[in-house]
Structure 1
Amino acid sequence: MGDDRQLKGLDGDLLPLFERLAIEAGHVIMRHYEQGFSVEHKADDSPVTAADRDAEAVILDGLRAQGLALPCVAEESVSRGVIPACGDAFLLIDPLDGTREFVNRRPDFTVNIALVRGGAPVLGVIYAPARNLLFRGGADGAFEVEVKGRDIAGRKRIQARARRADEPPVILASLSHRTPETDAYIARFPGARVTSIGSSLKFCLIARGEADLYPRFGPTMQWDTAAGDAILRAAGGMTRDVAGNPLVYGPREDSGFLNPSFVAEGAGFTA
């Protein structure tokens, strides 16, 4: 497992594994969603529920059962101080992205699993269990996947669109984290249509050609974005920091796994 050449050979096997574990985690989340749950708050005042923790356990236990010897940076483990040393390749896991949407019973919460290699997200799976909808991205492209129960019911390839320079863009804004900086960015595009949606599904809407831009000028963590970024890149888009460079993943000495501000964009888009 430590040999990067061996790991690259496993990529085709990892995506089906990520799909299966995301779907299993989604079933756990929906059980809490239907049966009820209490809400706690972490040190940063962000909400957390038993669904977050139980979904993460399903994913981590499933990875261990497969003998996958990769560092796993998972949100709830990190909040408890469990932060593995990361080499060139590691996993970023958000077992319940969009907890605020989950708590408020909006259907936009997701399960996110991504493989990072060399600072770039190269494989990603996002599952929205309340929508029975899964997205995946890797070397073979990006796909939208219909889920029925625990089974894959169908797949279709998706592609980010290239917007004409004279066409107002469709811009996605965070439903729970809108900032004045975001509003200022949107104001640069007269006539833009703005849609608000929660969680990492914003990346997926750009990846399937329904939107052009997702600006985020506020704190996010790498596990929030890696899976969606992998899917978007596989669909022909890109996520860039405010200097225009592709977003880089991995621990930083000064900020850990905190992302800088960024803009996710469709194919060939120059923001």
Structure 2
Amino acid sequence: MAELQVRDLLVPVIELALQAGRLIEAELSRPDGPRGEGDKAEVDVEIEALLRDGLKQILACDFVGEETGVDLSGHRFAWVVDPNDGTADFLKQRPGSSVSIGLLRDGTPVLGVVYAPVNAHGPDCIAWAEGLQTLLRNGQPVSRDLCSATLSSGSVVFVSYSAYLKPEQNAVLCRPAIFHPMPSIAYRLARVAAGDGIAAVSLYSVSTHDVVAAHALLRAVNGDIWNERGELLRYASPNAFSRPLRFCFGGAQSACAEL
């Protein structure tokens, strides 16, 4: 049996993410607004059911979802999904939530698709799979290397949307860079990988399903993700799937260490 080429999975995964994005768009277009409250939206479950079925048809393996649970059998591959990262902001009809689909092989992120169907810059799909030379952004190759990137004047740090409430404090914390608040840690990290910023931060607890897809994107550009103790985020055991990060710093190593 020929060895699986992860890059061959990317096109159907992107197509599935775009399909999920249409459900987000439709939900935001409802006359009464999105269904749900707090950080739970009804469409999230509907999207994850779609993704779970579709992804298992693309590659039948383990599955880690935010809404429909975890299915771990010891398979070397595992899909890790957040159907609508940034739900709380989504329910307030703030643009920028994202569909996040990642694939782990033996605990290493080897494929990621992060799709923000509704945001200020228009639909944005950032994707990569092991075997590709560059990221793809809306189907176009994007070259980026974070290996020697540093926190500098004019660089951008993406932070949680609520940073709008404390602009002075966030300006100090991100100096000499500028800070840009937006929903969805998955999309913040993906935008760093695609070249829009130097680092992305969450000072709210995040879970595995929030970051695996974007972690793959960062791997492609020599970036990574660290926790609040400066330790690299890794997925070595099933327990890692249910253990949240208190804080999350992703992007260029030098910038994240300074932040």
Give the TM interval when normalised to the shorter protein.
Answer: 0.7 to 0.9
C-alpha separation in 1, matches of 2:174 and 2:52:
42
Q: CA contact under 8 A between 1:179 and 1:217: conserved in structure 2?
A: no
Residues 1:46 and 2:39 are matched in the alignment:
yes
Q: Aligned equivalents of 2:229 and 2:15: distance in 1? A: 37
User: Cα distance 1:38–1:72, how it changes in 2: closer, same or farther (>3 A)?
Assistant: same
Q: Is the 8 A contact 2:27 2:35 kept in 1?
A: no
Alpha-carbon displacement from aligned partner over 1:48-73 (angstroms, at most 9, x marks no partner) = 22x2122112212212344x221111
Pair 175,188 (structure 1): closer, same or farther in 2 beyond 3 Å: closer
Compute the TM-score of the two structures, normalised by the length of structure 2. 0.81
Answer whether contact 1:125 1:135 (CA < 8 A) is retained. Answer: yes
Give the CA RMSD over aligned residues: 2.9
1:172/1:213 contact within 8 Å kept: yes
1:22 to 1:189, Cα distance in 2 relative to 1, 3 A: closer
1:149 aligns to what? none
Shift of 1:188: 5.5
Corresponding residue SS for 2:61: coil
Measure how far apart 1:164 and its partner are: 4.5
Answer whether contact 1:142 1:232 (CA < 8 A) is retained: no
- Residue aligning to 2:239: 252
Alpha-carbon distance between aligned partners in 1 of 2:158 and 2:192, rounded to the nearest angstrom: 9
Matches within 5 A, 1:87-236: 87=74, 88-130=76-118, 131-139=122-130, 140-146=132-138, 154-161=139-146, 162-164=148-150, 167=153, 169-176=155-162, 187=172, 190-199=175-184, 200-236=186-222
Aligned residues between the structures: 246
Distance apart, 1:190 and its partner CA = 3.7
Query: Could you say if the C-alpha distance between residues 157 and 247 of structure 1 is closer, same or farther in structure 2, counting changes exceeding 3 Å?
Result: same
Equivalent of residue 28 in structure 2, options 24, 33, 48: 33
User: Structure 1's 266 and 57: CA in aligned 2 closer, same or farther, altered over 3 A?
Assistant: same
How far residue 263 of structure 1 moved from its aligned partner, in angstroms, is: 1.2
Deviation at 1:187, TM superposition (A): 4.2
**Structure having the larger proportion of residues in helix:** 2
Residues 67-125 of structure 1: CA deviation (Å, up to 9, x unaligned): x22111111102xxxx2125342110111111123222222011110011232212100
- TM-score normalized by structure 1? 0.78
The answer to whether the Cα contact below 8 Å between 2:151 and 2:176 also exists between their aligned partners in 1 is no
Instruction: Measure, in 2, the Cα distance between the counterparts of 1:77 and 1:93.
Output: 10
Partner of 1:242: 228
Q: Which consecutive unaligned segments of at least 5 residues does structure 2 have? A: none
User: 3-state DSSP class of the match of 1:207?
Assistant: helix
Query: What's the secondary structure of 2:94's corresponding residue?
Result: coil
From the superposition, tell whether residues 248 and 31 of structure 1 become closer, same or farther in structure 2 (CA, over 3 Å): same
